[in-house]
Amino acid sequence: MVFLITDLDDTLVPQTESPIGDRYLIDFNRIWTNELVSKNSLLVYNTGRSITLFYQLVHQKSLLLPDYLICGVGTEIYRFLPDSKLEKLQQWTDFISQDFFLEYIRQVTERWVSSGLVRLQSETENSAVKQSFYFDPQQLDIIQTTVVADVEASLCSTSPVKVIVSVQHGVGHLDIIPFKANKGTAAMWLREYLGVAPESTVVCGDSMNDYDMFFCSVPIYRIAVGNCEENIRREFLKVSSLDPHFYLASKCYAGGILEAVSQTVTVETKSGDLYRGTLHDAEDNMNCQLKKVTCTGRDGKITPFEHVFLRGSKIRFFIVPDILANAPMFKRVEAIKEGKTGRGLGLGRGRGFIGGPVKATIRARIKRQRTT
Ligand SMILES: [Mg+2]
């Protein structure tokens, strides 16, 4: 089971023309539909877009309808019913809307609208728990030092809010949302609401808008796609060598998601040590190299390694992600299992599995049969 929560713009879907990004999206859709839907996996989109702009994107791109949609920068959560109808999770809205006094927020922001510094966005972009404005990106400094400071100071005692300033494709956006709402808190609330374990949860993003989702305190798995913003890249480079929960993909857009999810494996050796990391190389005899590895010893001691080589003869079993079913290495293993070739190794029956960033359904107990 995979609980995949992904940002849309410039993570799953390229915002500018990108034939390779479009192709990755088609690959992602195919693999998700063919390999994961039947395994109770859940797909969640987590976007700053309103519900209206989400449907615009669905019509523009070949986007699968998700199981859940978090939209409006974490202010609304919807469930897609089997007939594609939407059901709003009102519990979330009720939770975040306490202390969010819309009328008072409008009063405070009115002076900045009158001055022309900000312009209220259309009705579809606003809600009872979100007020959004446009501004000229050339005024970014003034917005940050004057408007944001004023709004925060005016509202902090009565209606604590979060003010988000961003520039997207040449347009300035200023969003005022409840203090408790962001892409991270909404994602983790939904995870708890559905009772999904952290180790089955993967979040994907590309920009500072995804920061709260990336750096939440729950030990979920986080993927920054290869085309991510420079500051996100820097943050991931800093932490990913120390913490295997962070993965900086080399491929862009949905290709980065597939790359990251498909390469994380867990290996148990015959001595009882568990190695968890990204699969760098594997041979038919199951000799393999892992990178960014966390080794959990039989005594529970955890040791990080940058690079590990494991002999196939020492391996008791592999746990590989669902998506790896499409990988060439696993195709070879399947061929061996079906007796199409007998060189090198054989497969026993599954012996249980441990949670990973993606819970494995492929359970391969691998027993090396090569004669010495
Ligand atoms: Mg994005």
The pLDDT tens digits for 125-164 are: 999 999 999 999 999 999 989 889 888 888 877 778 889 8
Left if phi > 0, otherwise alpha if psi is -120 to 50, otherwise beta: which for 154? alpha
- What's the 205 CA to ligand 1 centre distance in angstroms? 6
- What's the 11 CA to ligand 1 centre distance in angstroms? 5
From the list 280, 281, 289, 352, the residue with the least C-alpha distance to 316 is 352
360 or 340: which leads in pLDDT: 340
> Once rounded to an integer, what is the mean pLDDT over residues 276-292?
79
Fold topology of 3-88+181-261? Rossmann fold (3.40.50)
- What's the 302 CA to ligand 1 centre distance in angstroms? 34
Instruction: Check pLDDT > 60 for residue 104.
Output: yes
| Bridge partners, 288 (sequence order) | 282, 310
Q: Which pTM does this prediction carry?
A: 0.71
CA distance 221 to 218: 9
- What's the 253 CA to ligand 1 centre distance in angstroms? 10
Instruction: Check pLDDT > 50 for residue 325.
Output: no
Do 3-88+181-261 and 264-368 agree at the fold level?
A: no
Instruction: Check pLDDT > 90 for residue 206.
Output: yes
DSSP secondary structure letters along 224-243: E-TT--HHHHHHHHHHHTT-
Instruction: Check pLDDT > 50 for residue 5.
Output: yes
Q: Give the pLDDT confidence score for residue 2 in this predicted structure.
A: 84
Give the architecture-level CATH label for domain 264-368: Roll (2.30)
- What's the 2 CA to ligand 1 centre distance in angstroms? 21
- What's the 332 CA to ligand 1 centre distance in angstroms? 36
- What's the 69 CA to ligand 1 centre distance in angstroms? 15
Hey, where are the domains in the chain? 3-88+181-261, 100-178, 264-368
End-to-end CA distance of the chain: 39
- What's the 209 CA to ligand 1 centre distance in angstroms? 7
Domain 100-178 -> CATH class: alpha beta
- What's the 51 CA to ligand 1 centre distance in angstroms? 16
Q: Encode pLDDT of 33-84 as tens digits.
A: 887 776 688 999 999 999 999 999 999 998 999 999 999 999 999 999 988 8
Q: If you count them, how many residues does the chain have?
A: 372
Question: Which residue has 């004023």 as its token pair?
Answer: 150
Question: Which residue has 């494995």 as its token pair?
Answer: 360
